[in-house]
Amino acid sequence: MPAGGGRVSPLPAVHAVLSAPDAAPLLDRFGRDDTVSAVREALDSLRQAGHTADVGQVVVSAAAILDYRHRPRVRPVFNLTGTVLHTNLGRAPLPMEAVEAATAAMTGAIPLEFDLGRAKRGDRDDLVENWLCRLTGAEAATVVNNNAGAVLLMLHALAAKAEVVVSRGELVEIGGAFRIPEVMSRAQARLREVGTTNRTHLRDFEAAIGPKTAALMKVHTSNYAVIGFTAQPAEAELAKLAHDHGLPFLVDLGAGSLIDLERYGLPHEPTPRETLAQGADLVSFSGDKLLGGPQAGIIVGRKDLIARIKKNPLKRALRMDKIRLAALEAVLKLYADPDRLAERLPTLRLLTRKADDIKALGERLLPAVQAAMDGKARVTLEACHSQIGSGALPVDLLPSWALVMRPVTPIRSEGRWLEQMAAEWREHPVPVIGRVADGALWLDLRCLEDETALLAQLA
């Protein structure tokens, strides 16, 4: 009820705000419904706070509400964490070839499940299967949403209601609740764990095999290393044992680099080709870890087993979409020319970046960053180590250089200062994500390719 006695409302009416000339650009940009709801929201909060405001002020706060509402949540950030394949920052950046292929697939029709030669229904796996077989030496391949899905599917298709034998040293938890024992039970397979945390022998596997056994499995311990007094049977031995009992040998390889990384001066990581050559019947791995492609779970290996997987209803539930299939095909094609791969595939380019080049980049940036942080932080250029990330090669660190922020003078609440400093870097138009360690904020420059963009937002 409006109060009597000629009191004027301290706030304008919604229609008055909307018909003001100032509101026209908002209506134009955001449409009527969204603008009306923002004006109402602005008026409500002014009313609740007991403020008065004129039409112009209401338009300004409605504009702020709309800007915030429409700001993309998916937006670029600078990954200066020092972790190249950072799961929380989207893992592998894709090459332009993949971007172009994905764009074409997004904006139009593609022969996703259509055999162009014979004009009949095809299988979406056919788009990438030839490349995957060529690059791994496998007979057949299939692709699903991610490697967690690939492992779930593989186990459900081949071992539902039966036992899968795994070493106790490999009951891995990957971030985000992927744990082998739990995936196993969701796949309706029974985990038969053998051996101990540090040592498992071939005879442990052998003793566990019985009428209920459906497969032997090896899980690449990608995000940790057991060192010291350890033993695990060789893959070739496990494969032979499995085959002697008419069982398949399955391997979850995790990162699954498609090529020998030593060729590029990086530490060795087992490849699907090597694993198949050791006798594995199926190998699963991620598309967006060391492979450097879009999120995907790839299974390669024996044709009859892949055929069983393709018939499983979970395959349909976990299938890949056309956009990522297009990107994956484009990335796989780059592997045909390993000589140029380190230039063309961003993941490999970043992983193989030379410490001296990163240092030179740091020297170019240092004066501008020091000037921008003048009085706020003491900035130095220091050697550090980057990580590959995504669980790949957990103990191997890559020499790198970082811009390091510390308080100008020693302070007591250092933890708070560091949090604030990190938050300040995240507030840039393109947020800069660093790493807090050893009483400093580290901006590892390994993954900084666009230095001009970083400098532009410092100014």
Ligand X SMILES: *Cc1c(COP(=O)(O)O)cnc(C)c1O
**Residue (151 or 421) nearer to ligand X, CB:** 151
Report the run of H or E that residue 411 belongs to, with start and end: none
Q: Side chain identity at 130, as an amino acid letter? A: N
Long-range contacts of 270-277 (CB under 8 A, 24+ apart): 270/220, 271/136, 272/135, 272/136, 272/138, 272/298, 272/300, 273/135, 273/136, 273/137, 275/235, 275/251, 276/136, 276/137, 276/138, 276/300, 276/301, 277/137
What is the rounded radius of gyration, in angstroms, for the C-alpha atoms of the chain? 28
E strand segments, 46-172: 78-79, 114-115, 120-121, 140-144, 163-167
How many Å apart are CA 216 and CA 193, to the nearest integer? 10
Select the span of 78-86, 107-115, 216-224, 368-376 touching ligand X (CB under 6 A).
216-224
**Residue (88 or 420) nearer to ligand X, CB:** 88
- Interface mask toward ligand X for 136-155; x: CB under 6 A: ----------xxx--x----
Contact positions with ligand X (CB under 6 A) in 339-358: none
**Residue (114 or 178) nearer to ligand X, CB:** 178
Among 18, 26, 102, 172, binds ligand X (CB under 6 A): 172
Question: Which residue number places its CB atom closest to ligand X?
Answer: 254
**Residue (95 or 293) nearer to ligand X, CB:** 293
Contact positions with ligand X (CB under 6 A) in 389-418: 391
Contact positions with ligand X (CB under 6 A) in 268-297: 286, 297
Look at the block and give the residue holding tokens 């920052």. Answer: 89
CB of 61 to ligand X, least distance (A): 42
**Residue (389 or 434) nearer to ligand X, CB:** 389
CB of 129 to ligand X, least distance (A): 19
User: Among 300, 165, 292, which Cα is nearest to 219's?
Assistant: 165
CB of 126 to ligand X, least distance (A): 22
Contact positions with ligand X (CB under 6 A) in 229-248: none
**Residue (95 or 287) nearer to ligand X, CB:** 287
User: Among 212, 256, 201, 207, which Cα is nearest to 234's?
Assistant: 201
**Residue (84 or 148) nearer to ligand X, CB:** 148
Among 55, 59, 219, 361, binds ligand X (CB under 6 A): 219
Residue 252 interacting with ligand X (CB under 6 A): yes
**Residue (288 or 440) nearer to ligand X, CB:** 288
CB of 148 to ligand X, least distance (A): 3
How many Å apart are CA 382 and CA 362, to the nearest integer? 9
Token representation of residue 67: 């800007």
Q: Side chain identity at 454, as an amino acid letter? A: L
Q: What is the DSSP string of 70-103?
A: HS-SS---EE-SSBSS-GGGTSPPPPHHHHHHHH
Select the span of 77-85, 190-198, 250-258, 435-443 touching ligand X (CB under 6 A).
250-258
CB of 71 to ligand X, least distance (A): 28
> Assign residue 268 a region: left if phi > 0, alpha if psi is -120 to 50, beta otherwise?
beta
Among 22, 89, 137, 178, binds ligand X (CB under 6 A): 178
For 445-459, letters b (16+ CB in 10 Å) and e give bbbbeeeeebeeeee
Select the span of 58-66, 217-225, 343-351, 358-366 touching ligand X (CB under 6 A).
217-225
CB of 59 to ligand X, least distance (A): 46
Q: Residue 3: how many CB atoms within 10 A of its CB?
A: 7
**Residue (65 or 125) nearer to ligand X, CB:** 125
CB of 292 to ligand X, least distance (A): 13
**Residue (218 or 406) nearer to ligand X, CB:** 218
Pairing type for strands 282-286 and 249-254 reads: parallel
Q: Which residues bind ligand X (CB under 6 A)?
A: 146-148, 151, 172, 174, 178, 219-220, 222, 252, 254-255, 286, 297, 391
